[in-house]
Amino acid sequence: MRVAALAMGLFCAAFVVHWLLWRVYLPRRQTAALLAIFFACLPIGLAATAVGPLARLVSPLGGCDLLQVGLFHVAMTLAYVVAYSAIEERSPSMTLLLYVADATERGRTRDELCDLLRSMEPIERRLNAMLRDKMIVEADGQYRLTAKGRAWCAVFGFNLRLLNRRAGG
Amino acid sequence: MTMDNGVVVVLAPVAGQVVNCLTHLTLCQIAGRRPYVAIFAGFFVGLLVTAAVSAAAVLERDVRMADMVGRCGLNLLTYGALGWGYFHFVNLNIASLRIRMLLEIGDSGGATNEDELRARYNVNEMIALRIERLLDGGHLVERNARFYSGRREFLLIGRVFEALRRFILGRPTQPPPSSNVD
């Protein structure tokens, strides 16, 4: 039980650090900042359990214990980063669902839904996001894939073939 | 707990996730136009594998009940997190406009201009596609040319994320464009 308590305690501590930092300063590259905070807290937290008052509570820890704590922390960090993208900005589908729900029994017409999604400027925002994330570059009126963009294409193209699907969107 | 036994316990969620992926990919060849059935079935099978391997490895040694519950619980949470990440990775392929745009730029020889993109991505068709997807999933229902809420699961998730947005970001409204992949 102490291994589980240590693992969850480390993750919660990292979350508290992230929450406190966000109260003071919102980083421009929030995903990168989250990964830095959570992955830094793992070795720092484990080192803290080797000395001081925490050592009496959780020691001795074997190699498998550390591995289990580390795997939990990495998996939960990646899961939170994925969830954070939905926290940071609402997806178009979720925007539609909440917009319809807010209308309650009155409902929404198709034109209202279309106007809402059109106001989100889907093409422009995604192009700007890809430019900001350096997946594409713009030159002479052309958008070209960067090495990072080509890597993403390769990964997702391969995955689509495995899934036996065409790209959605 | 022996080292071999301990390694099996630790790697149980990884084994579960591997089974999740393999089950999902196999079902994709069968489930056809119902991708989310394959995703959830794969997750459930992987969850069973994680639980079974964790329990078997822990029970092999004389472990206190509290430790057994703690380790198995931790493994289930770890597997849940891995499965959550896998679900979103797969969902990007199914629903992400950004990924689709990226792939089509790639298919165009790695370059395109904005006019070509706009011609390819008719906004009205994109909107219709999203609405049809929500109707197919039962999340929206259409009656007398008006749309109403259907199934509540995703709506509940949306409300939870709204609450989390207020708690973490301190604001309920949409922030400026970010690196959200969608």
pLDDT, average across residues B77-105: 86
- B4 or A80: which leads in pLDDT: A80
Of B7, B70, B89, the CB nearest to A4: B70
Judged against a pLDDT cut of 80, whether residue B174 lies above it is answered with: no
Q: Taking CB atoms and an 8 Å limit, are A79 and B81 in contact across chains? A: yes
Q: Taking CB atoms and an 8 Å limit, are A89 and B3 in contact across chains? A: no
Judged against a pLDDT cut of 70, whether residue B181 lies above it is answered with: no
Q: What is the reported pLDDT for B176?
A: 34
Report for A37-41, A91-95, B168-172: range of highest mean pLDDT = A37-41
Q: Mean pLDDT for chain A? A: 85
| Nearest chain A residue (CA) to B34 | A165
- B157 or B123: which leads in pLDDT: B157
What is the distance in angstroms between the Cα of B86 and the nearest Cα belonging to chain A? 9
Q: Taking CB atoms and an 8 Å limit, are B111 and A144 in contact across chains? A: yes
Measured between beta carbons, the chain B residues lying within 8 angstroms of A126 are 97-98, 101, 182
Q: Taking CB atoms and an 8 Å limit, are B82 and A113 in contact across chains? A: no
State the Cα–Cα distance between residues B38 and B50, nearest whole angstrom: 18
pLDDT band at B65 (very low <50, low <70, confident <90, very high): confident
Which of B8, B127, B133, B155 best tests the A interface by mutation, with the highest count of A CBs <10 A?
B127
Q: Taking CB atoms and an 8 Å limit, are A114 and B124 in contact across chains? A: yes
Of A78, A97, A142, the CB nearest to B111: A142
DSSP per-residue codes, B110-158: SEEEHHHHHHHS-HHHHHHHHHHHHHHTTSEEEETTEEEE--SHHHHHH
Please, are residues B38 and B67 in contact by the beta-carbon 8 Å criterion? no
Judged against a pLDDT cut of 80, whether residue A121 lies above it is answered with: no
Model pTM score:
0.80
* Residue B4, φ and ψ in degrees, nearest 5: -60, -45
Per-residue model confidence as pLDDT tens digits over A126-153:
888 888 888 888 888 888 888 888 888 8
pLDDT, average across residues A96-114: 90
